[in-house]
Amino acid sequence: MYAGFRIIIALVLFILGFVPFPFPYISFFLFLVSYLIFGTEVVWKALKNIFKGDFLDENFLMTLATIGACLLKLYPEAVAVMLFYQIGEFFQDYAIAKSKKSIASLMDLRPDVAYVVEGKKTVKTKPEDVKVGDIILVKVGEKVPLDGVITEGESFLDTSSLTGESIYKRVTLNDSILSGSINKEAPLKIKVTKKYSESTVQKILDLVENATNRKTKSENFVSSFAHIYTPIVVIASLLLATLPPLILKESIDPWIYRALSFLVVSCPCALVLSIPLSFFSGIGACSKMGILVKGSNYLERLEKMKMLAFDKTGTLTKGVFAVQEIKSKNYSQEELLRYASYAENYSLHPIALSLKNDFQEDIDESKISNVKEIAGEGVEATVFGKKVLVGSRVFLERHDITCPKQKEAGTLLYVAIANEFAGTILLADQVKEDTSNLITSLKHEGIEKTILLTGDQKNIANDVQKRLGIDEVHASLLPQDKVECLKKLMSEKDKDTFLGYVGDGINDAPVLASADIGIAMGGLGSDAAIEASDIVLLIDEPMKLISAIRIAKKTMKIVRENITFALLVKFVILTLSAFGITNLWVSIFGDVGVTVLAVFNSLRILNVHKN
C-alpha cells in the first residue's frame, strides 16, 4: 500500500515537471524531488554494495545510468529510469505476494495456543510447552495444535490446509489426529503423541520454508550468467561512450547517451527475478493441491523423469484385504464364511480382521471354544460343536486333511469342518479406485517405463500388473532387495533422464532415498515420508502424480519462455541502442516491459486445476 502511494505522489510530481513554468528551476525541482522519491533507495543500495565489493547488479546499473543522464541534463529521462524501475518492482512484489498466497494456507497451519487439561480446568499455553502424554482440549473452530489420539469426543475435521481437499474427515475415539487440522463440529480431547518440534504441522512448515533453498540448473545458470554478463555490459558501455568519439573525432555526448541506453536495457532483472519466481509459483501450485515439493530442483527432475517405479501395498493397492471368491464343498458359501469368521474371531491378524469385516454379522462368542492359533499357519477352533481349521493348505494337511491344489492371485484360506475339507476363501488386496487410469495417464505425460517392486509373491504381483498395465515386475523382494533392484535400474537408464520411486513412506524409506526422485504417497503424518522423500503427496491418491508432473512441465516451459524472451528482446534493443537507432525511453520501456511480462508469465503456473 505504501509503495503504491509513493509511486502515485512521485508520478504526479514527474508529470508536473513537464508543465512550462515561467521559471525553469521549478521543473528542475519537481524532477529532483521525484527522483529522490523513486531513486534514493536504489542509489543507497548501490553505494552499500560498492563498499561490500559486490556492486555489479541492477541497482548499480540504474544509478550509473541516471547519474549519466543528469550530467547530460536529461532530467526527465533520469527520473523515468527510476520511475519505471520502481513500477516494475511494484508489479514484481505483487506477483510474489500472489504466488505466496498458494503457500499461505500452509503457513496458517501454525497453531497459536494449546489448552492443556489439568483435572477439571484447562490451562492456556504455547504448543511448544506441551509434553507428550498431556491431554489437550480442542474447541470447535480451533486448529489442532499437536499430533495425538482422541480420548474423548467425535467430530469432523477440515484438513484442506494439509491435503488440499475440501471434504471434511470424520474422527472418533482412538483415531489419530494431526496438527494443522481444524475442528468443525464438537470439542475433542486429545492425548499428545509428539512434541511440537516433531509434529506434522512443524515438519510441513519447515519443508515449505526451506523449499527454495535447493536451486535448479536454470536458477544457477541465471545467477552465474548475471555475474558474468553485468561487468561485460558495463565495460561495453564505457567502450561505447569513449572509443567511437575518439576514433571518429565526434562529440562525446551522443555516444554517452547511447551508452546510457545500453546500460539501462542491459539490466538482468527479467531473468534474475522471473526465473526463481517461476519455480516458487510451481511449488505454490503444488502446495495448493496437497503436493509438497522439497525444492525447485525436484520440479526440474520431475519434468525429465522417464521411468517410474512403484511399491504395491499402500501405494497402488489399499493394503486392505477383501474376500474375492468363495469355493465351498458340502456347505453354502454363507455357511463356509460363517464358520471361518467364527474360527478367526480372536485372531488379530490382518487377514482375520478382513474376513470378519466381510462377514458383517455379530458373532456369538459362546459358540466358540478350544481356540488355538499357530502363527504363520492357521487357526484351530471348535465352532457350533464342530472342529474347524482355517489356514494354509500345509496347515490342513498336517491334520491329515487332503486339499486340492489351487493357484490364485491372492491369499487363499483353506477351510476344514469336522475333519473334512470344506472349501477355500480367496482374499486379495484391493486396487485403489483412481489407479485404473494411472498408468495410461503417466504414458501420456511422457513416462516411458513403469515398474512394480513388491515383496508379494509373483502371481499376486502379476495380477496387479495385468490389471493396471504396468510394464515390468520384480516380486518377492525384501527391503534391501528393492534398493539393489532400484540401483540396477538406475545404472541402466540414460544419464539425462530420471527414475522416480513411489512408496508409502514408512517401510520404503531406503528406496525413496535411493531414487532420483523419491515420492511418498499418502505421506501425511509419516515422519519417514517427510524425511526420506523429495516430494510428498499428502493424501492417498495416486492420480496426484499426474498433477505434480503437469505442474513441473508447465513450470519448466514458462522458465524457458522467460529466458528466451528476455534474452531475445534485450539483444535486439542492445544492438539498436549501440547504433543509436533507439533512445533512452525505448531502453527504459524495454527493460521494465520485459521484466513485467516475464513476471506475469510466471504467475500462469498458479492456474492449476485439481484432477
Q: How far is CA 508 from CA 100, 264, 403, 503, 566, in A?
A: 32, 53, 37, 6, 43
Q: DSSP for 453-481?
A: E-SS-HHHHHHHHHHHT-SEEE-S--HHH
| Integer Cα distance of 255 and 231 in angstroms | 19
The amino acid occupying position 202 is Q
Classify the C-alpha dihedral 229-232-238-242 as positive or negative.
Answer: negative
Task: Point out the catalytic residue in the list 57, 134, 158, 311.
Answer: 311
Strand pairing partners for 39?
Answer: none
| Dihedral angle of Cα 319, 323, 450, 513, to the nearest 10 degrees | 10
Angle among Cα 204, 183, 124 to the nearest 5 degrees reads 85
Closest to 190 in 3D by CA, of 168, 173, 204? 173
Count CB-CB contacts under 10 A for residue 537: 30
Closest to 605 in 3D by CA, of 159, 223, 269, 275? 275
Count CB-CB contacts under 10 A for residue 210: 11
Residue 311: active-site member? yes
Retrieve residue 344's grid coordinates.
478367526
Give me Rg for the CA atoms of the chain: 34
Retrieve residue 61's grid coordinates.
546499473
3-state secondary structure of 435: helix
Q: Which residues are catalytic?
A: 311
